[in-house]
Structure 1
């Protein structure tokens, strides 16, 4: 009686094909816990204006996709030049096939595929799992870019207690106690919100000659015009009207914009996105914040007032002119570093074009808002 021989799994790495989309979306939900549809994939990869193909590499096991190494194409300003760049994103390997070197093989193939200088460089903010693999394949660590959080409703944690099921005893008495607790919590929440509003308004000059407008759909041409008024020297995504139209077409989010005008001319803008119980400041222009700090502060106070019901507000990188002044705390320092797990991102870069030397730059040579990241 012969014993069947078990054959080893054959792994290959290849470029993305249209039939791989469903496997990509399925694995994305499995690995990241988010359900993404075809419209999101089309927006992020197929309709990206800075690339003419779907920049994804696929690891297959006996012909079946089990891993993906994806890239988010962008147009970056480096000094006076505008250069294409890829931001690695959505990297994933099925749990049954981890530890087989697939991340390394996909990385090697990516470097080979794009070694001709288009894109000019890679940059990204890998998590702790993928960071060692990036460093092993030539990425260099640049520095840390913090995220900032402004607590708006410290009592939100009580929601879990208020919604808890009774555990024995008198249901009538507990219902009364819960009603009282709810009333007290609501009163305190209102008091906190009122205190925030009063404190914020003291930080801005209400007598300025600024008019503030709110837009449910960000005015992309206006945002681009404000950006061009004061373009920073630091490395960042080039803000054209086409860039803004594409970025704000993300089907997973909606955005509210606030524009400050002086004598009818737009001089500053701020864009906010609501996510679950919190809000994100995803963009402020001009990107040289100090050039219109008063106008940006006025917009910030307006946006905070209109999002006072959010548990907290998040800002990434260089987005708020004076974070601590408006009670935005970095997750890398006390007090937040003692309360929450830091989400600060470590910037890595890898040159693909000679003469750039971005790998030896410092974090101060770059400037980011959340729009510079691969998702908003």
Structure 2
């Protein structure tokens, strides 16, 4: 790792090793406010160690005494183009700086210093959806703003309008309990059925996450996040809608993470089931920017641009930044997890 020129002399920046894990966990507790009783350590292991796209490349900063004071992790991801070729990506995700070292540029130094190593690892790009506070820092480091991810909302009742007005804030990390459908991990455990479902889905002409049986089984199996799956037929191969219920401001939102439908299959069955799930509205991604797909409009969805996160992109090994209309992103691809 090449440390930026302005890194303080008493700070060492390097790639993390397996031996750093206890110190990384302790740093996260101190810097991120992990609460006792929450499954944060298991969450970190699932997210960064068990990903079928590969373990997360991680960098740390340590002081003269060898104490870790900074952390930067990138979650491995893979996109697939319509012609079958792939894009090796990472998501800029977890970062932590010890309270005594904040304000010294450790976040930017670790992030920028990691880019050369990522290029050597044949990583094509970095992408993420930073909030309004952190986005200017990313843009200063060379990230480019792709645009707002288009999202749409389906209200579940007359009282949902007022609740939606109070939902313009970040959603809670942990999900609410819900009995609709079944645990997503259970649905995706049937690898043969999932393989049959994926074979029936038209991938279209967009750049999308490379959904494999292994990816889906990993992505939605962490039990504390309470991902649920609604079947659109008699079996998994007939289609699934994956969601989770979580609080966002004054509302309870059903985040529609993935809509996996064979050609000609409507997800209407899932929308009907979720109407009685105790949620105020459904939020889902769209492949169309500036206009709502006709099928969504017919099923009661309306575009709500204010709730869409802003996607940013940093080319690494490949000098390419896609336009938003070239991408097909589900909320499961970009939600903060």
Runs of 5+ unmatched residues, structure 2: 1-7, 164-179
Aligned counterpart, 2:62: 60
Report the alpha carbon displacement of residue 238 of structure 1 after superposing the two structures with TM: 0.8
Does residue 131 (structure 1) correspond to residue 92 (structure 2)? The answer is: no
1:299 corresponds to: 269
Q: Equivalents in 1 of 2:308, 2:35: separation in Å? A: 19
Moved over 6 A (4+): 31-34, 156-159
TM-score normalised according to structure 1 size: 0.68
2:72 corresponding residue in structure 1 = 69
| Whole-angstrom CA distance in 2 between matches of 1:318 and 1:9 | 48
Name 1:235's counterpart in structure 2. 207
Pick from 243, 248, 253: which aligns with 2:220?
248
C-alpha RMSD of the superposition: 3.4
Q: Alpha carbons of 1:250 and 1:13: their partners in 2 closer, same or farther (altered >3 Å)?
A: same
Could you tell me which residue of structure 2 aligns to residue 11 of structure 1? 11
Q: CA deviation at 1:96?
A: 4.2
User: 1:128/1:224 Cα in 2 relative to 1: closer, same or farther (>3 Å)?
Assistant: farther
Match in the other structure for 2:283: 314
Pick aligned residue for 2:331 from 370, 373, 376:
370
Q: Structure 1 regions of 5+ residues with no counterpart?
A: 1-7, 160-212, 333-341
User: Within 2, Cα distance between the matches of 1:91 and 1:329?
Assistant: 35
Structure 1 pair 284–268 and aligned structure 2 pair: CA distance change class (3 A): same
TM-aligned CA deviation for residue 246 of structure 1:
0.5
Whole-Å separation in 2 of the counterparts to 1:146 and 1:317: 5
The Cα offsets for residues 22-75 of structure 1, whole Å up to 9 and x where unpaired, read as: 224314642899944221111001112222x44222233444333322111122
Report SS of the residue matched to 1:242: helix
Picking from 132, 141, 144, the partner of 2:145 is 141
Pick aligned residue for 2:229 from 235, 257, 263? 257
CA 1:74–1:224: 2 relative to 1, 3 Å: farther
User: Does 1:120 pair with 2:124?
Assistant: yes
- Tell me the residue number matched to 2:187: 218
Q: What is residue 177 of structure 2 aligned with on the other side?
A: none
2:237 aligns to what SS in structure 1?
strand
Aligned to 2:317: 353
Give the total of aligned pairs.
Answer: 296
Q: What does residue 270 of structure 1 align with?
A: 241
In 2 relative to 1, CA 254–59 (structure 1 residues): closer, same or farther, beyond 3 Å? same
Following superposition, the deviation at residue 106 of structure 1 comes to 0.8
Q: Report deviation, 1:326.
A: 3.9
- Alpha carbons 1:256, 1:272 under 8 Å: kept: yes
Q: Which deviates more, 312-321 or 19-28?
A: 312-321
- How do residues 127-206 of structure 1 correspond to structure 2 at under 5 angstroms? 127-152=131-156, 155=159
Higher helix share: 1
Any idea what SS the aligned residue of 2:187 has?
A: coil
1:86 is aligned to 90
* Selected match of 2:50 from 44, 47, 52: 47
CA shift digits 1:102-121 (9 cap, x unpaired): 12211121102112252222
Partner of 2:254: 279
- How far apart in 2 are the matches of 1:123 and 1:137? 13
CA distance in 2, matches of 1:35, 1:154: 35
Structure 2 length-normalised TM: 0.75
Q: Structure 2 vs 1, CA of residues 142 and 153 (structure 1 numbering), >3 Å: closer, same or farther?
A: same
2:304 counterpart of 1:331: yes
Flag the structure with larger Rg.
1
